[in-house]
Structure 1
Amino acid sequence: MKNSLKNILAISASILFFTGCEVERLPETNISDATFWRSESDLKTANNYLYTFLPDFGSEDNWSDDAFGLASNSISDGSRLAPATATGDFNSQYTLIRAANNILEKGPKTSIVGATLDRYLAEARFFRAWGYFNLLQRYGSVPLVTKTLTDDSPELKAGSATRDEILTLIMADLDFAGAKLPTPTALGTADYGRIANTAALAFKARVALFEGTRAKFHNYGDSKKYLTMAVAASKAVMDSKQHDLYAG
């Protein structure tokens, strides 16, 4: 009887011991923050998503005399109406901005440092500027979000930033990208097609020219400041000797 009682107690103690030891294992088939942000490959994969927001060339020839669309045009047939709520153009740009902000927050947690890390962060900042410029062109002043938000973030109820605040962020992002991204030559064939430093400079020139001419002909702001930026950024692209004029 005593032996049976001892055996029962021993088994009970063993059960309590093993159930008290929890082995926390992360899923091997799912991607999570805890398992993803570790290597350059992870960061490059995250950045690849940003490239999906670049426009394609599917039907843009329809805007010229090179081609025409088969479907009716909602503008010419009078059926186009102003949307009552946010459109895909608005939402998709904030999806891009959130992805870029997430990379800027999580990228430094990887094992890479220095110029290699800066390159991927520069790509993210280029695309964040891309998203905000698209919003600025279509909607003017919009909310300025520079970090990832949760469902209860107070920024979700914040008002719109001013044009100057949005442009300040865009220019800062493009300046960082222009300084930290590799040249087209340095990219090589393996990374052909990725954003280079001259792309950031050319995009800065485009943003500055847009805002400078808009300010000039709508009589607001400092048009000369932005037009001077456009000239300087364009000259930097030309002086880089990374590109030739098309001679065809």
Structure 2
Amino acid sequence: MKNLIKIFISLSIVFSMFSCSDDFLDKPNPNQLGEGSFYASEVQVHQAVMGVYGQMQGITGNQWLYSEMLTDNTTVHFDEGNRGNAPNIESFEYWQYNSGTGRMYDLYRDIYNAMGNINLTLSKLGEADIDSGEKARFEGELRFFRAYYYFLLTQYFGDVVMITEPLTDPSAAFELERSPISAVYTQIESDLDIAIAALPHPGNVSASDVGRLTKGAALTLSGKLWLTRKDFGKAKTALDQVAAMGYSLLGNYADVFDPTNKNHNESIFEVQFQGGNDLGEHNGFIYNFYPKFTNGEVTGFDGISGGGWNIPTLDIIGDYEDGDVRKAISISEGYTDKNTGEFVAIPFIEKYHYEHAIQGRPDNNWPIYRYADVLLMLAETINEQSGPNAEAYGYINQVRDRADLLPLSGLSQDEFRTALLHERRIELAFENHRWFDLRRTLSATELVALLNSHGASEKANQTTPRGSVGFSAGDYIFDTHEILFPIPNRERVVNPDLTQNDGY
């Protein structure tokens, strides 16, 4: 993992070199790297692929807004004196986002920027002087990332622009149209088939490559894709293969997130960060999640407070079962003011809350896929095909047993489905799964009803106080069309061929 981090540090230069047109200069400098010469060797292609890994840091570090705070899991620490982010970040919490929302454009732009680098590197592989085995592995990694990003895009926007080759003519970008989600799913499936064949078994990864993608990650995404497409048989086939690869649950839930225990046996894929230094590979997400106005009680650094975003709701706090050890590991219900000695009941995410030596330089990785997720998805595939059986109970009860909870039994198919959604909410809390889980398992009517019920509850009993600021008329009113995000206006201005999602 340290080797990966070292390579990330200088790779922004690699991609920035190729942002201009090829004919920008009449005579290229023969001593300067350019797009045509850079991808010639294994070392250079390896650097480019590591650059794609590096881009995932920023993209993943922002997903909490779109997949947690959008839902009933988290909310904002309301700041009566600073309403600057009300039309932007807070618009996701209150479901007031629209096609002009800045963070909507950031999501769209960042993913497509990464996709451009993936497509460019893939297009250069054939010409590079690389060992065939390494070339196949690089292709598998790149195709996984493309599949992963297209999966995100479909869940957020539905039909999306599908690009699988570099754009050599800038004018072509202004004529692209959205492809049906079914066609995008087919492309994802194709990319994953290649990734699964090319990536190494997790048991065959050298110490220097720990943190890189494996066959387990590609099969996990494949299983999630087939679950989303309601092909539960194919989902189970993919996930069964993951279950046979030697992954296991850690005995202690807290160890899953401990930054001194990265890339452990439950981890299938996690985004690599490195804190404790000034190399620029630390994560910043936990500072977004700390409460405001704490003056160091939570961050551990005098005078330093958090962003107040992604605050656990009273709803999720109340959803933990009595005796569930995950609650204290995942959530703090407040902190003690060091000046007054009084308890301040502003909850915050505890799951990533670890001491670190340098202010603003925490060391946590971000989990993308882990084995607990696979076990719960396997239980889902069985239940959706034939109702719960001993195998399905075995999977969900492994997760519950670690949490010191009693096993489930004797449930109907609907009851098991409800129990499973609850278990996923608690086990995977604040890991960017909630929005996709709700979308996959609930009908549009059920999803709208759940969110509006949560909104009404939050209005009546706010997780954090609002002071003298009342709610706007449209706050916490979720409409069916908001299940899909709008295509950002800035994209449609430059390309009128991009249709807009209904309702925007």
Do these two structures clear the TM 0.5 threshold for a shared fold by scoring above it?
Answer: yes
Per mean C-alpha deviation after superposition, the further-off stretch among 167-176 and 81-90 is 81-90
Give the structure 2 partner of residue 231 of structure 1. Answer: 236
1:53 pairs with 2:32? no
What is the percentage of aligned positions where both structures have the same residue?
Answer: 25
Cα 1:210–1:39 shift into 2, 3 Å: same
The structure carrying a bigger helix percent of its residues is 1
Quote the Cα distance in structure 1 between the aligned partners of 2:29 and 2:48. Answer: 20
- Give the C-alpha shift of residue 98 in structure 1: 1.2
- Give the C-alpha shift of residue 187 in structure 1: 1.6
- Give the C-alpha shift of residue 173 in structure 1: 0.6
Number of equivalences: 209
Cα 1:25–1:84 shift into 2, 3 Å: closer
Give the structure 2 partner of residue 196 of structure 1. Answer: 214
**Mapping for residues 145-164 of structure 1, pairs under 5 Å:** 145-152=163-170, 154=172, 156-164=174-182
Deviations 1:200-239 (A, max 9, x none): 0011111221232xxxxxxxxxxxxx22221111001012
Cα 1:159–1:67 shift into 2, 3 Å: closer
The one-letter amino acid of 1:95's match is: N
Query: Which of 72, 94, 107 in structure 2 is aligned with 1:89?
Result: 107
Give the structure 2 partner of residue 74 of structure 1. Answer: 90
Query: Which of 242, 247, 251 in structure 2 is aligned with 1:247?
Result: 251
- Give the C-alpha shift of residue 74 in structure 1: 1.5
Quote the Cα distance in structure 2 between the aligned partners of 1:36 and 1:147. Answer: 18
Q: Is the CA contact (8 Å cut-off) linking 2:76 and 2:93 kept in structure 1?
A: no
Quote the Cα distance in structure 2 between the aligned partners of 1:122 and 1:39. Answer: 18
Deviations 1:30-86 (A, max 9, x none): 4312331122111110011211225139978x8699998545572587583312376
Give the structure 1 partner of residue 132 of structure 2. Answer: 114
* Unpaired stretches in structure 2, ≥5 consecutive residues: 1-26, 80-88, 253-504
Q: Is the CA contact (8 Å cut-off) linking 1:126 and 1:174 kept in structure 2?
A: yes
Cα 1:67–1:170 shift into 2, 3 Å: closer
Quote the Cα distance in structure 2 between the aligned partners of 1:228 and 1:153. Answer: 43
Quote the Cα distance in structure 1 between the aligned partners of 2:175 and 2:78. Answer: 40
Q: Is the CA contact (8 Å cut-off) linking 1:143 and 1:161 kept in structure 2?
A: yes
Cα 1:152–1:185 shift into 2, 3 Å: same
Q: Is the CA contact (8 Å cut-off) linking 1:50 and 1:99 kept in structure 2?
A: yes
TM-score, normalization: structure 1? 0.73
Quote the Cα distance in structure 2 between the aligned partners of 1:68 and 1:77. Answer: 6
Give the structure 2 partner of residue 15 of structure 1. Answer: none
Quote the Cα distance in structure 2 between the aligned partners of 1:79 and 1:172. Answer: 34
Q: Is the CA contact (8 Å cut-off) linking 1:122 and 1:177 kept in structure 2?
A: yes
The one-letter amino acid of 1:37's match is: Y
Give the structure 2 partner of residue 184 of structure 1. Answer: 202
- Give the C-alpha shift of residue 121 in structure 1: 0.8
Quote the Cα distance in structure 1 between the aligned partners of 2:196 and 2:145. Answer: 12
- Give the C-alpha shift of residue 195 in structure 1: 0.7
Q: Is the CA contact (8 Å cut-off) linking 2:202 and 2:214 kept in structure 1?
A: yes
Quote the Cα distance in structure 2 between the aligned partners of 1:112 and 1:144. Answer: 28
Cα 1:230–1:112 shift into 2, 3 Å: same
The one-letter amino acid of 2:157's match is: Y
Give the structure 2 partner of residue 209 of structure 1. Answer: 227
Quote the Cα distance in structure 2 between the aligned partners of 1:40 and 1:69. Answer: 46
Give the structure 2 partner of residue 43 of structure 1. Answer: 45
Q: Is the CA contact (8 Å cut-off) linking 2:201 and 2:215 kept in structure 1?
A: yes
Give the structure 1 partner of residue 389 of structure 2. Answer: none
Quote the Cα distance in structure 1 between the aligned partners of 2:164 and 2:93. Answer: 40
Q: Is the CA contact (8 Å cut-off) linking 2:200 and 2:214 kept in structure 1?
A: yes
Q: Is the CA contact (8 Å cut-off) linking 2:140 and 2:198 kept in structure 1?
A: yes
Quote the Cα distance in structure 2 between the aligned partners of 1:166 and 1:196. Answer: 23
Deviations 1:5-25 (A, max 9, x none): xxxxxxxxxxxxxxxxxxx88
Cα 1:151–1:200 shift into 2, 3 Å: same
Cα 1:151–1:186 shift into 2, 3 Å: same
Give the 3-state SS of the residue equivalent to 1:101 in structure 2.
helix
Q: Is the CA contact (8 Å cut-off) linking 1:145 and 1:155 kept in structure 2?
A: no
Quote the Cα distance in structure 1 between the aligned partners of 2:43 and 2:145. Answer: 19
The one-letter amino acid of 2:38's match is: F
- Give the C-alpha shift of residue 154 in structure 1: 3.9
Give the structure 2 partner of residue 34 of structure 1. Answer: 36
The one-letter amino acid of 1:231's match is: K
Give the structure 2 partner of residue 3 of structure 1. Answer: none
* Unpaired stretches in structure 1, ≥5 consecutive residues: 1-23, 213-225
TM-score, normalization: structure 2? 0.38
Quote the Cα distance in structure 2 between the aligned partners of 1:110 and 1:34. Answer: 10
Quote the Cα distance in structure 1 between the aligned partners of 2:213 and 2:36. Answer: 28
Deviations 1:79-131 (A, max 9, x none): 83312376111111111211111111102211114221000011110011111
Give the 3-state SS of the residue equivalent to 2:238 in structure 1.
helix
The structure carrying a bigger strand percent of its residues is 2
**Mapping for residues 6-17 of structure 1, pairs under 5 Å:** none
